[in-house]
Amino acid sequence: MSFADRLIDAVRTKNTPLCIGIDPFVDKIPTALFGNAREDTSAVLKFSASIIDLAREYSGVVKPQLGLFEQFGEMGYATARLITEQARAASLIVILDAKRGDIGTTAEGYARATLGPSPGFDADCVTINPYLGLDTLEPFIATAQANAKGVAILVRTSNPGAGDVQDLQVGGAPVWRRVAEMLSPQQARLQGASGWSGLMAVAGATYPEEARMLRDALPHSLFLVPGYGAQGASAADAVSGFVKTPRGLEGGVVSSSRAVSYPPAAQSAANMNEWRAAIREAMAGAAAELRAACAA
Amino acid sequence: MSFADRLIDAVRTKNTPLCIGIDPFVDKIPTALFGNAREDTSAVLKFSASIIDLAREYSGVVKPQLGLFEQFGEMGYATARLITEQARAASLIVILDAKRGDIGTTAEGYARATLGPSPGFDADCVTINPYLGLDTLEPFIATAQANAKGVAILVRTSNPGAGDVQDLQVGGAPVWRRVAEMLSPQQARLQGASGWSGLMAVAGATYPEEARMLRDALPHSLFLVPGYGAQGASAADAVSGFVKTPRGLEGGVVSSSRAVSYPPAAQSAANMNEWRAAIREAMAGAAAELRAACAA
């Protein structure tokens, strides 16, 4: 089954496009419950595993943020691999947020490292950067195509400086639009029976108008929408690049990390039961809010 | 001492801008001499350590290609860290070719992972991607500034598809030129007593005219020039973005990987002595060719 079909199935089954980010912030992981993440990666492992264990009740998709694991060196890298394995064993789809991008044989190395089997992550999808050109995305797309996996290409991001390069005007359209046009012919290679393509586009929720323009350029691509929750975008903004279907709005997943992993009630929890209850409440709230936005 | 001054000192001391790439290609590492790199990362470690041991005779700078290590999972990641430590202990400057780029706290994570002390790589410099905007480069630049380190920003790369995004025309100039203009005010933050800045720009040797235009936009930035040797650019092309000084042409380092790590005579070597002799000959040849191009 293609990655695109698996992803849209997960969204339909859970009836929400929520994707739960796995972001181990050393200063926010409650020390009393998990140990000191500054000193011990086992605290990172325990915390991330606990988030995944709860995530599967509310979402079909998780997104580990690799950079936050790599700050712990190879132990962090190994932790991210273990977490990915755990999530996949729990039938969660894993979008590895690695933001890789390199040329030639090195791109092949990264494609194997992220999408390939052990010692690779064997992730379902990986985020990649298009600045180096289409030939540098090819090893990732080819690996995805051969293994029923996906890629999520950074087209228009959600950070304050996203426009510095992405919004430069090229013949009346921004760079990100030209990137989308460059990617458009590739959609078919990762298209599933559902019609959706696993050549995903990252479309920041903080820029809903751009998401609609991006949808015009990439009608089949599933979107990976960051920026919902802690970064300030509303649920309605987050799904602005989705399209109307008989099931409601559909067309991708919306990731939430900080809001569902570090809600205030979890930060002040006295024990694991209280912590779990707080995380469940935050996850259920985000899932429901996005469900409602898609139904509207 | 600033990174820029350390780098230019290394170039002057060795009297060549040669930077030796550490690229472990599993299919090219001689099995009889190092073990089977497909099955055992200790072969990768032994090979990379042997290259570094020879590199310091001919160059002051090495560039490990992280993606080729990551394909071995956390053992590969650990190997890259060990190699970096070995190179720094041998007084070599390490430019970690990681091509990272992410937003906010994740960018901080990658900055710690690459430039920070153990469990970080503690590399002297890291390659980063500018597509996500200046705010995403800031954690790397700030970390470099605080720790006398450098960053090498992908401005104009050397691969066949480099122009897909980088050459899009924005008001009469290509995107990469706008990226250079965006970076220009940052040069001073990493500028050393030599006048050179450790805010390096990656300037592909396969496009010498672009390198000259890039020099105009970034007069103080040291260049990291890939594409020399196996990718087809000549030594003269490779230093086309350098500037005339009383010492000859100066202004960055030129990396060579495959040509100095896998010359035919090394591939067919019967023993380590023959292998070392072949590697030495290739490294000496590249160092001399670049020395001559800078003297011309």
pLDDT in tens, B53-83: 999 999 999 999 999 999 999 999 999 999 9
Condensed to tens digits (0 to 9), the pLDDT of residues A167-200 reads: 999 999 999 999 999 999 999 999 999 999 999 9
Q: Find all residues with CB under 8 Å of A172, minimum gap 6, and list them.
A: none
Q: Stretch B227-247: mean pLDDT, rounded?
A: 90
Q: Which helix (DSSP H) or strand (DSSP E) does residue B181 occupy? A: helix B175-183
pLDDT band at B232 (very low <50, low <70, confident <90, very high): confident
pLDDT of A296 over the 90 cut: no
Q: What is the pLDDT of residue B206?
A: 78
| Alpha-helix residue ranges (DSSP H) falling in B26-162 | 31-34, 41-58, 66-70, 73-89, 104-115, 134-146
Q: What is the pLDDT of residue A125?
A: 99
Q: Which of residues 114-153 of A touch B (CB under 8 A)?
A: 116, 118-120, 129-136
pLDDT of B231 over the 90 cut: no
pLDDT band at A208 (very low <50, low <70, confident <90, very high): confident
Mean pLDDT of chain A: 96
Cis amide prior to B119 (ω within 30 degrees): yes
Q: Stretch B251-255: mean pLDDT, rounded?
A: 97
Which residue of chain A has the CA closest to B161? Answer: A133
Q: Stretch A16-44: mean pLDDT, rounded?
A: 96
CATH 3.20.20.70 fits domain A3-13+100-295:
yes
Q: What is the pLDDT of residue A232?
A: 73
Q: Stretch B258-262: mean pLDDT, rounded?
A: 95
pLDDT of B89 over the 80 cut: yes
Taking each helix axis from N to C end, the angle separating A175-183 and A208-217, rounded to the nearest 10 degrees, works out to: 30
The first and second tokens of residue B156, run together, are: 């104009």
| Ramachandran angles phi, psi of B168, nearest 5° | -55, 140
Q: What is the pLDDT of residue B191?
A: 98
Q: What is the pLDDT of residue B5?
A: 98
Contacts of A135 in chain B (CB under 8 A): 159-161, 164
The first and second tokens of residue B87, run together, are: 């190179």
Domain covering B3-295, topology: TIM Barrel (3.20.20)
pLDDT of A164 over the 80 cut: yes
Q: What is the pLDDT of residue B49?
A: 98
A243-245 and A248-250: which strand pairing? antiparallel
pLDDT of B296 over the 90 cut: no
Contacts of B100 in chain A (CB under 8 A): 67, 99
List, by residue number, the catalytic residues of B. Answer: 99
- Asked if residue A155 lies in contact with residue A202, where contact means CB atoms within 8 angstroms, the answer is yes
Which residue of chain A has the CA closest to B231? Answer: A104
Q: Stretch A120-138: mean pLDDT, rounded?
A: 98
CA angle B207, B210, B214 (to 5 degrees): 135
Q: What is the pLDDT of residue A188?
A: 98
Q: What is the pLDDT of residue A158?
A: 86
Q: What is the pLDDT of residue A207?
A: 81
Q: What is the pLDDT of residue B50?
A: 98
Q: Which of residues 36-95 of B touch A (CB under 8 A)?
A: 65, 67-78, 81
Q: What is the pLDDT of residue A211?
A: 92
Question: What percentage of chain A reaches a pLDDT higher than 90?
Answer: 94
Mean pLDDT of chain B: 96
Q: What is the pLDDT of residue A12?
A: 98
pLDDT of B154 over the 80 cut: yes
pLDDT band at A206 (very low <50, low <70, confident <90, very high): confident
- Asked if residue B10 lies in contact with residue B245, where contact means CB atoms within 8 angstroms, the answer is no
Q: Stretch B257-280: mean pLDDT, rounded?
A: 97
pLDDT of B132 over the 90 cut: yes
**Does A99 sit within 8 Å of B101, measured CB to CB?**
yes
pLDDT band at A233 (very low <50, low <70, confident <90, very high): confident
- How many Cβ atoms sit within 10 Å of the Cβ of residue B173? 14
What CA–CA distance (Å, rounded) separates B267 from B261?
9
Nearest-Cα distance to chain B for A247, in Å, is: 33
This prediction's pTM: 0.98
Q: Per-domain residue ranges for chain A?
A: 3-13+100-295
What CA–CA distance (Å, rounded) separates A165 from A159?
12
Query: Cβ of A104 under 8 Å from any chain B Cβ?
Result: yes
| Ramachandran angles phi, psi of A263, nearest 5° | -65, 150
